[in-house]
Amino acid sequence: MRTRSPYLLATLLLGGLLAHSATASGAAPEWITKVGPATAEAKRSGRPILVDLYASWCGWCKELDRQVYSTPRFQEYARKFVLLRVDTEDGGEGSALDARFEVESLPTTLVLSSDLMLIGKVEGFAPTEEYLGMIEAQLKDFLDYETKAQAALAGKDTAVQRSAAAEAHMRGDGKTAAALYRKLAVSGSVPPDIAGALQYMLADALRLAKDWDGAKTALNRATAEAERLHDADLLERSQMLAWNVAEDSGDCRGAKERVERFLRDHPQSTLVGRAKRALSELDKSAQCT
Amino acid sequence: MHLNGAPGHTSANRMRFRHSSLLLSLLSATLLFGAPLDALQREERAALALAATRTADAAGTTAKLEAVVTIQAGWHVNSHQPTFEYLIATELTVVVPDGWPAATVRYPEGVLRTFAFEKQPLSVYEGATTFPIELAIPANTPDGPRDVTVNLRYQACSDRICLPPVDTSATLALQVGAGGNAIVAARSGAEKATPAPPARGVAGMLLLAVLGGLILNLMPCVLPVLSLKVFGLVRSAGAGRRQITSGALATAAGILISFLALATAAVLARSAGSAVGWGIQFQNAGFVAFLAAVVMLFCLNLWGLFEIPLPSRLARFADQHQGDEGPAGHFASGLFATLMATPCSAPFLGSAVGFALGQTTPIIFTIFFAVGFGMALPYLSLAVFPGVARILPRPGAWMDTFKGLMGFLLAGAAIWLFYVLAAQLSTVRLALVQLVLLAMALCAWLLHRATPGGLARRAYGLLLLICAVAAPFVANAGQERIGADGGSANRTLAARDTQRLIDWQPWDEATEQRLLSEGKTVFVDVTADWCFTCKVNERLVLETPEIAAAFKNAGVVALRADWTNRNDMIGAYLARHGRFGIPFYLAHSPGQEPCVLTELLTKDAVLEALGARQAPRAITP
């Protein structure tokens, strides 16, 4: 759960960056290969995590390692990060990060906060200076985003709030996204025919913020709206989100029940494939057995 | 930045919301972000097509199939024997009907390519690659169709990123039975072609080529040749139909042969691996200066200041013919007409010929032949209907006036050549070239006034020849030529577009990739001063308030590559997108395949290319 305000996070982040570049010692930074130790180290040191996503067959990943990561320039720069390296095809944590951040090509570099919020994403190989430039640009964009999100929350401009909400949601900053969606919902600027969709978005943002009860309440509203408007798509998607919320909150049996009900109620849905895959994943999950 | 652009286009493809687009714009950005661990659609960068080589294959024989793998421009896959062990080889597996022996796949050798940031060349497949497959059909197989499935596994990379391996497959119903015919010849042209926009078929291009050839006759550089030729034919032939026919046929043959020679040169240059493109001869300032000299001499000739010794005198000599030109003379003037057409062909025929150069050898020849045919059409029709000659005005004193006027038309062509040279040469060097040409004109004038047969006449003739030959050398020599260092891009861009609405940035591959990695959509315009179609597109389509506003709203970065001078990076870039000529326009959004627009640009096409790529905005109630 995120407890710090975005401002605080930004301050910590910058502070961490400065402190660590100042106290740099001679040893080359080490790559951690497990998510848990990396987030723990990020929390402890206040540094963000730089994630190198790779696969064994990826030629440009090897070039990135050879031409960028092994340079003294990068190793010096990298002191402001916790370094995490994962194989996107390990069928475990690496694959999960790959899916969660919609990684479509390799190499991809992510910069994440200690609670796995997306700070930046760089796709592909680039020579050292260009690569570092892209990372820096992403960090700067993130600080801009934080300022923007705060201004959107404090202000009344609904257009600004909408775009800030979309970015917060995409970054996995569920708390900010949810706060913005809530403001939008009461602003009167949202047309009635998409009020249900807004509740759906709110539910998903709350799921990211791990506010399970809030997510369920918003989902109930979304479902009610979908039924009122006879909107089959929204209804099906809301039900899919409901099983995702259950699964994320650790309620494996509840999730399984919802998926099974979904398959019974909507055998013609375009989401049947997803439901079936989810069911087989849940069956394999240790919590369900 | 990347993040803003990413959600819109990545999720939009997977979204299927029926109702309002407002809702779509709200939801598409983030709806699926949270949907965990959903197997993402693998991005496909290669297409697999199967073809039989016979309409039917008899039981007991070996059937030959072809699997054609077409890889998108800008991407490559590892060959069957990749350079490094860890790379995933391209693999085809053939699933044969039950009881049939395993098929054999012949893998062609990969192309060795060196990429921008990798020193060691990699063995890869690019563009369209054909994999021959042999399949033994058991003797006891009853007649009828049998399904043969080919599974393809490949792993694609661009020059910066790699995509996960992809499995794809295609199935062919192989006809088993006696009496089949070979079909590969009819099909190979279309199938083996490097990827070209499908809407633009070979037939359409042939039609364009014939039309383009026909229009060439009206170009300022050719019209004088054509009109004088036709009148000459009428005059020399008198009333003799046969002479008109044979003269016209010889001229047409001269045109056709010279176009076939051009096709041969293009094919040879391509197989030698040099950058081929139509109009690239214009990147050579010496060539342009040479054409300027030829055009000027012809111009002086039309103004009555200079007698061209070619082609008629040489031809008469060759023909041992008394009096007027014989067939060889007409043939030579056909060749001459083609030469004169060159300065004008690049701007108008660039598209058709650029298309041809991306095709197989037979198609290249067919298209060049079609251009020649179009250009020869007036002569051919004169040959078929010699009676037409009677409709034409009778030769007379008016022809001198007409010749003089045609001379001014040619002078216009010369101005165009100087315009091209101005972008290639420094001001001083351009003035030098023009001085040499002026000296040449002076010699022509002196030659004209000198007494026939005198020594002075020979001297002037020699000096004239020296000047004509010197012009290309003067243009090519020296250090102050711009272009070799790439500095020309800025100069020509700055000089040209004084009132431009769009803020064009100079293009290079790295800039494009960097902008893409920053999440920006780019629009690339490859242009050149000698490309007339490019100029028209820029003036009428791109540099308009409508498009400028669309660029601004969508946050598109406009990049312009100037191909006025030789630039291998641009040549390679075009080739990777299956093009060999300009104009070339490309819209490219991060994470999407680049969209290559047609040569004849329309505002709608540009807006569509950008509109489809625009990241969905938040709801606008």
pLDDT in tens, B140-186: 888 888 899 999 999 999 888 888 888 888 888 888 888 777 664 33
- Cα–Cα distance for residue pair A51/A61, rounded to 1 Å: 12
Q: Which of A132-136, B533-537, B603-607 has the highest mean pLDDT?
A: A132-136
| pLDDT in 10s for each residue of chain A, 289 residues | 344 455 545 554 555 554 454 444 556 788 999 999 999 999 999 999 999 999 999 989 999 999 999 999 999 999 999 999 999 988 888 988 988 888 889 999 999 999 889 999 999 999 999 999 999 999 999 999 999 999 999 998 888 888 899 889 888 899 999 999 999 988 887 788 788 889 999 999 999 999 999 999 999 999 999 999 888 888 888 999 999 899 889 888 899 999 999 999 888 887 888 888 888 888 877 666 6
B223, amino acid identity: L
Shortest distance, CA B463 to any CA of chain A (angstroms): 57
Any A CB within 8 A of B621 CB: yes
* Residue B163 to chain A, least CA–CA distance (Å): 5
| B273-329 pLDDT, tens digit each | 454 555 556 667 788 888 888 888 888 888 888 765 544 444 444 444 334 456 777
Of B173, B154, B171, the C-alpha closest to B75 is B154
- Check B23 against A201: CB less than 8 A apart: no
> Is B33's Cβ below 8 Å from some Cβ in A?
yes
Query: With an 8 Å Cβ cutoff, is B286 touching chain A?
Result: no
CB contact under 8 A, B37 and A96: yes
Average pLDDT over residues B540-565: 86
Mean pLDDT is highest, among B157-171, B337-351, B451-465, for B157-171
Cα(B210)–Cα(A58) distance, integer angstroms? 48
In angstroms, the Cα distances linking B164 to A59, A102, A189, B123, B443 are: 11, 13, 43, 18, 69
HSE (CB half, 13 Å, CA atoms) of B569?
13
Instruction: Give the closest-approach CA distance of B112 to chain A in angstroms.
Output: 15
Distances (CA, A) of A18 to A6, A42, A74, A78: 18, 15, 16, 12
Six-digit token string for A126: 């680039």
Q: How many CB atoms lie within 10 A of CB B248?
A: 28
Say whether residue B36 is in contact with chain A using an 8 A CB cutoff. yes
Mean pLDDT across B391-417: 78
Answer with the residue of higher pLDDT: B538 or B230.
B538
Q: Give the pLDDT mean for B386-400.
A: 71
Query: Nearest-CA distance from A81 to chain B in Å?
Result: 20
- Measure CB to CB from residue A106 to each of B35, B161, B618 and give the nearest one: B161
CA angle A145, A151, A156 (to 5 degrees): 130
| Inter-chain Cβ pairs, chain A and chain B, closer than 8 A | 176
Residue of B6, B118, B164 lying closest to A55 (CB–CB): B164
- pLDDT of residue B489 exceeding 60, the answer is no
Q: Chain A residues with CB inside 8 Å of B20's CB?
A: 193-194
pLDDT on residue B159: 83
Strand runs labelled E in A19-138? 49-54, 82-87, 108-112, 118-123
Which residues 591-610 of B have a C-beta within 8 angstroms of A? 591
Contact with chain A for residue B517, Cβ under 8 A = yes
* Cβ contacts of A189 on chain B, cutoff 8 Å: 621
Q: Does residue B57 contact residue B174 with C-beta atoms inside 8 Å?
A: yes
Contact B23 A277 (CB under 8 A): no
Closest to A77 measured CA to CA, from A20, A125, A34, A116 = A20
CB B289 within 8 A of CB B475: yes
What pLDDT score does A50 carry?
A: 97
Question: Residue B613 and residue B586: Cα distance in Å, rounded?
Answer: 12
Phi-psi region of B347 (alpha: psi -120 to 50; beta: other; left: phi over 0): alpha
What is the structure's pLDDT at A153?
93
CA distance B364 to chain A (A): 36
By Cβ distance, the residue of B4, B86, B161 closest to A167 is B4
Residue in A137, A170, A197 closest to B27 by CB? A197
Task: Answer whether B37 sits within 8 Å of A55, measured CB to CB.
Answer: no
CA distance A153 to B607: 35
Q: What is the dihedral of CA A267, A271, A274, A275, to 10 degrees?
A: -40
Rounded-to-integer distance, Cα A229 and Cα A195, Å: 10
Shortest distance between the Cα of A191 and any Cα of chain B, in A, equals 6
Phi, psi of A114 (to 5 degrees): -65, -25
- Sign of dihedral through CA atoms B608, B610, B616, B617? negative
User: B38: which chain A residues are within 8 Å (Cβ-Cβ)?
Assistant: 99, 274, 277
* Type of residue at B292: A
Task: Retrieve residue B33's tokens.
Answer: 């972000």
Whether B30 sits inside 8 A of A204 (CB atoms) is yes
pLDDT of B396 over the 80 cut: no
pLDDT in tens, B17-42: 223 333 334 443 333 333 332 333 45
- Taking contacts as CB-CB distances below 8 angstroms, the residues of chain A near B35 are 240-241, 244, 274
Q: Contact B293/B468 with Cβ under 8 angstroms?
A: yes
Q: Give the gap in angstroms from C-alpha A135 to the nearest C-alpha of chain B.
A: 10
pTM for the full model? 0.48
Least confident window among A197-201, B416-420, B504-508: B416-420
Q: Which residues of B touch A89 (CB under 8 A)?
A: 164
Q: Which two tokens stand for residue B67?
A: 């699997």
Yes or no, beta carbons of B37 and A124 under 8 Å apart: no
Q: Are B91 and B152 within 8 A, CB to CB?
A: yes
Q: In this complex, is the C-beta atom of B344 within 8 Å of any C-beta atom belonging to chain A?
A: no
Tokens of A116: 């796995």
Distance from CA of A285 to the nearest CA of B (A): 13
Q: What share of chain B is helix, strand, coil (3-state, %, to 5)?
A: 50, 15, 35
Q: What pLDDT band is residue B437 in, cutting at 50, 70 and 90?
A: very high
What is the spatial distance between Cα A61 and Cα A52, in angstroms, rounded to a whole number?
A: 9
Write b or e for each residue in B565-594: b if 16 or more Cβ atoms lie within 10 A of its Cβ, otherwise e.
bbbeebbebbbbbbbbbbbbbbbbbbbbeb
* In contact, A69 and A61? CB cutoff 8 Å: no
Residue with tokens 């001229």: B251
Smallest Cβ–Cβ distance between A170 and the set B30, B164, B165 belongs to: B30
Q: Tens of pLDDT along B176-219?
A: 888 777 664 333 333 333 333 333 466 777 887 888 788 777 77
Q: Are B40 and A102 in contact (CB under 8 A)?
A: yes
Q: Which of B3, B34, B620 sits opposite A207 (nearest CB)?
A: B34
Secondary structure (3-state) at B495: helix
Cβ-based burial of B539 (10 A; exposed 0-12, middle 13-18, buried ≥19): exposed
ipTM over 0.85: no
Work out the minimum CA distance from B35 to partner chain A, whole angstroms: 7
Closest-CA residue of A relative to B37 is A99
> Regarding predicted confidence, which is higher, B587 or A2?
B587
State the pLDDT confidence band at B236, using cuts at 50, 70 and 90: low
**Residue A45's pLDDT is what?**
94
